[in-house]
């Protein structure tokens, strides 16, 4: 039987067979709490997006897109019957449509507010294994593909162009984030690098070759980039001026930290996959200490 123990500065998850996971807070501005586990109807989540009091989730191990309001059970919005195989990342446009990438079957799918699911762009358009996803203020989707080593731009009308090609040397655009100036940050967890593409098309690598760093998911929040590192079990805050600052360390069974999003109140929701074979996952909240 698993037991959960919340401490002032750490979260401990202990189980049978010596399995144990711990979250240690490294930035005193935060505290950690367990937000959700499989009892709410999730399996093991990758991409996260907070909107209007709810978490929108790409439940990769559960092969589903779900919506979860804290205190309730998760609602399934789409699943394998809608063509999903391994949902990775999720974004929302201003009209309420959700878009999801899928690293198993590629392409991008749109979930309409009325429940319909449509393919926006399939693998035959050069998107065989889609990963990171972002959306511009104009509604243009930016889609990273790990197998094609490229980032595509898809307009609301469906026109697709190549934004970043394989020649840029980005191995696996796992996650994408747009800052307030229109710069595109690219997390490449295969090359263990963080890239930056300016609106003019210049590409640089603010972080590359740093020992113990491999970005999984990135999100731009209030002037800073927040980063999960699933290889090393760390959540970071990054700005060009201050560099990387660790917020929390995820240890043991909780080291595989995946998605991250803002909770709208200065805190962060983080998804953790505690073992793909066991299909276990948790949603943790790094709440701001007031």
Cα torsion 87, 89, 92, 96 to 10°: value is 10
Tokens 């020992």 sit at which residue?
Answer: 211
Strand order in the sheet with 98-102: 87-92, 98-102, 108-111, 117-121
pLDDT tens by residue, 52-102: 999 999 999 999 999 999 999 999 999 999 999 999 999 999 999 999 999
Tokens 């996952």 sit at which residue?
Answer: 281
**Helices then strands, each counted (H, E), the chain:** 0, 27
Query: Based on the number of CB atoms within 10 Å of its own CB, is 223 exposed (0-12), middle (13-18) or buried (19 or more)?
Result: exposed
pLDDT at 12: 65
pLDDT tens by residue, 201-227: 999 999 999 999 999 999 999 999 999
pLDDT at 207: 97
pLDDT at 4: 36
The parts of the chain modelled with pLDDT lower than 70 are: 1-19, 275-278
pLDDT at 9: 46
pLDDT at 277: 60
pLDDT at 1: 27
pLDDT at 279: 81
Q: Which residues contact 203 (CB under 8 A, 6 or more apart)?
A: 164, 168, 195, 196, 197
pTM comes to 0.94
Q: Which domains does the chain have, with CATH numbers?
A: 38-288 (2.120.10.30)
């Amino acid at each position: 039987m698993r037991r959960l123990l919340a401490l002032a500065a750490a979260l401990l998850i202990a189980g049978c067979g010596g399995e144990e996971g711990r979250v240690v807070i490294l930035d005193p501005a935060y505290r950690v709490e367990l937000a959700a586990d499989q009892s709410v109807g999730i399996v093991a989540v990758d991409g996260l997006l907070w909107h209007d009091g709810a978490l929108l989730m790409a439940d990769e191990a559960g092969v589903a897109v779900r919506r979860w309001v804290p205190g309730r059970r998760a609602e399934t919005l789409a699943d394998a019957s809608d063509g999903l195989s391994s949902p990775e990342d999720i974004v929302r446009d201003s009209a309420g449509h959700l878009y999801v990438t899928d690293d198993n079957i590629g392409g991008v799918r749109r979930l309409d507010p009325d429940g319909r699911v449509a393919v926006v762009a399939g693998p035959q358009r050069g998107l065989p294994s889609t990963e990171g996803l972002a959306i511009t203020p104009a509604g243009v989707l930016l889609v990273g593909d790990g197998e094609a080593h490229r980032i595509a731009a898809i307009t609301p009308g469906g026109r697709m162009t190549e934004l970043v090609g394989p020649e840029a040397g980005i191995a696996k655009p796992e996650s994408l984030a747009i800052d307030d100036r229109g710069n595109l940050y690219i997390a490449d967890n295969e090359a263990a690098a963080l890239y930056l593409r300016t609106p003019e098309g210049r590409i640089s690598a603010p972080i590359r070759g740093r020992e113990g760093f491999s970005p999984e998911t990135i999100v731009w929040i209030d002037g800073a980039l927040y980063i999960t590192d699933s290889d090393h079990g760390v959540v970071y805050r990054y700005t060009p001026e201050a560099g990387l600052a660790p917020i929390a360390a995820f240890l043991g069974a909780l080291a595989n930290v995946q998605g991250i999003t803002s909770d709208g109140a200065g805190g962060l929701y983080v998804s953790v996959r505690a073992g793909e074979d066991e299909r276990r996952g948790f949603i943790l909240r790094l709440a701001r200490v007031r």
